[in-house]
Amino acid sequence: MNESEVKSVTDLLRHVARTEILPRFKKLAPGDVRTKAGPLDPVTVADVAAEQALKAGLNRLFPKDDVIGEEAVSSGMARIERLAEPGRVWILDPIDGTANFTSELPLFGVMAALVEADELLAGFIFDPFGDDCAVALKGRGSWLVAADGARRRMHVAAPVPVDQMVGSMSWRFMPEPLRSHVLHRLDKLAAVTDYRCAAHQYRMLSAGYCHAQMFRKLLPWDHAAGVLLHREAGGHARHFDGSPYRPSRTEGGLLLTPDEASWTALADALLR
């Protein structure tokens, strides 16, 4: 992607946040919220409207690219397997942190990633309240872009021993006995958090404000942009079995740390 295209995507995310998401924040009627897979998986009219607007905008900007979003896949109108096939595909999460959005907490983001044959090419995580966008391009680094265009490079935290690590550890979707195994070992870290928002957790991790993250649920709209952001900021991410992250893979967990040695140490502490 060239600089003009990066700006166009960032401007699109900002526009959709301002026109489809923020006007509905703290103004949802009871009928504006429903659940998909269960009570921990809400969706709102804002999610649907934002995804439609983002898809229309990306179709205008990149008419040769495909676009799939969380809500389109949920409704059966798109399929995750498309990510491993030839051709460029945009992945959308119109509101990452919908549980926070419906709880009237100002902690959610808009995420977009560009993938070709399961390879991450670009990632964008926009914060509607900070009005800035974290951007990553394959081989070109990660940076935070302010509303006025000013940029700041992002770098992961310096490696530390496991007992000094602070991280976001999500165990909600872990099956037994893995769930109990991990829960009994979390006290090996200095502190554990969960903001119910992968968008902001990835931004924190990639900017060096925490050391590690663990996820079990691996839907591509939650992770593709963030994994590239973290990678281009110098980080190391692998599935629980040590294999590289692939956007089309929805099982196998994900562990992210500042470097390979930290990954091995944390995997030994929590998973082995």
In the block, residue with structure tokens 């990632």 = 123
As assigned by CATH, the class of the 3-153 domain is: alpha beta
Residue 203, φ and ψ in degrees, nearest 5:
-65, -45
Tokens of 78: 């798109």
Q: CATH code for 162-270?
A: 3.40.190.80
Between CA 171 and CA 180 the distance in angstroms is 9
Instruction: Give the residue extent of every domain in the chain.
Output: 3-153, 162-270
In the block, residue with structure tokens 């902001």 = 200
For the chain, the residue count is 272
User: Which strand ranges, in their side-by-side order, compose the sheet holding 212-215?
Assistant: 191-193, 166-169, 212-215, 254-257, 236-238
Between CA 13 and CA 54 the distance in angstroms is 7
In the block, residue with structure tokens 């709209």 = 221
All residues at 6 or more sequence positions from 202 whose CB lies less than 8 Å from its CB, including other chains: 125, 134, 213, 223, 225, 226, 227, 229, 230
In the block, residue with structure tokens 């926070």 = 100
pLDDT tens, residue order, the chain (272 aa): 999 999 999 999 999 999 999 999 999 998 999 887 666 678 999 999 999 999 999 999 999 999 998 888 877 777 898 999 999 999 999 999 999 999 999 999 999 999 999 999 999 999 999 999 999 999 999 999 999 999 999 999 999 999 999 999 988 888 899 999 999 999 999 999 989 999 999 999 999 999 999 999 899 999 999 999 999 999 999 999 999 999 999 999 999 999 999 999 999 999 98
